[in-house]
A and B are shown apart, each in its own frame.
Chain A
Amino acid sequence: AQSVTQLDSQVPVFEEAPVELRCNYSSSVSVYLFWYVQYPNQGLQLLLKYLSGSTLVKGINGFEAEFNKSQTSFHLRKPSVHISDTAEYFCAVSGSGGSNYKLTFGKGTLLTVNP
């Protein structure tokens, strides 16, 4: 079984500032990791994913995340945020083997970008 902890429920930042949204996971097996974004009254959109290979993954809208196996973390970063990045961000994990590929989500981090 897997679990995900998103350490901050809310992160307020000013426009053009850098941001990091933290995610730690727990798993007894190898994992795949994901970040999804949910804009108000919308579904979840895949931002980026780590399946294998390079630990630094780049996603849409200028976001990137780094997989750190020793620290079991997958933090999301953006060097300069825009007002339009205001949304809820979810970190998710799934096993990379076996027969169950369901996603286990964290509680979410609400990113609010202020002018």
Chain B
Amino acid sequence: DSGVTQTPKHLITATGQRVTLRCSPRSGDLSVYWYQQSLDQGLQFLIQYYNGEERAKGNILERFSAQQFPDLHSELNLSSLELGDSALYFCASSVADRVSEQYFGPGTRLTVT
């Protein structure tokens, strides 16, 4: 158990819908990262937040957004969902923004039908 929690574990929704994925980092970690794992693209970095502020952006679609709240939990919002958005979404956390050692949550499996 890494100490990073993600909810829900599974999510099934229809195209065009909007969902919110939630992540709580390890106790004491200030930085949260979101990754997408799909069969065709592999593991891809989406976005990083540090202490409430966006720090880095990767291959995140405009339909996707994230935020980190004062209690340091983070939410990833996915809207206008398409079949191709079906994937495992992982959250990771690290103690600071300039530390690469990241600890991953169990993931949320999103299925868009």
Contact B106 A46 (CB under 8 A): no
Segment among B65-73, B77-85, B94-102 that sits at the interface with chain A: B94-102
Please, how many residues of chain A have a CB less than 8 angstroms from a CB on the other chain?
A: 23
**B75-113 vs A, Cβ < 8 Å mask (1 yes, 0 no):** 000000000000000101010011111111111000000
Per the bound structure, the CA–CA distance linking A36 and B100 in Å amounts to 13
**Please, which residues of chain B bring their CB within 8 A of the CB of A7?**
none
Instruction: Give the contacting residue for B2; candidates A45, A96, A105; CB below 8 A.
Output: A45
What total of A-B pairs shows CB separation below 8 Å?
Answer: 59
Contact A100 B56 (CB under 8 A): yes
Chain B nearest Cβ from A1, distance in angstroms: 11
Q: Given A42-B106, A107-B42, does the pair A102, B58 have CB atoms closer than 8 Å?
A: yes
**B20-64 vs A, Cβ < 8 Å mask (1 yes, 0 no):** 000000000000010100000011110010000001101000000
Instruction: Give the contacting residue for A102; candidates B33, B90, B101, B105; CB below 8 A.
Output: B33
B residues near A (Cβ < 8 Å) are 2, 4, 33, 35, 42-45, 48, 55-56, 58, 90, 92, 94, 97-107
In the complex, given contacts A36-B104, A45-B104, what are 7 additional A-B residue pairs having Cβ atoms less than 8 angstroms apart?
A32-B100, A44-B90, A94-B100, A101-B94, A101-B97, A101-B99, A105-B42
A-B contact pairs, 30 of them (CB 8 A): A32-B100, A34-B101, A36-B104, A43-B90, A43-B104, A43-B107, A44-B92, A44-B104, A45-B2, A46-B102, A49-B100, A51-B100, A51-B101, A94-B100, A96-B100, A99-B97, A99-B98, A100-B55, A100-B56, A101-B56, A101-B97, A101-B99, A102-B48, A103-B92, A103-B100, A103-B102, A104-B45, A105-B42, A105-B43, A108-B42
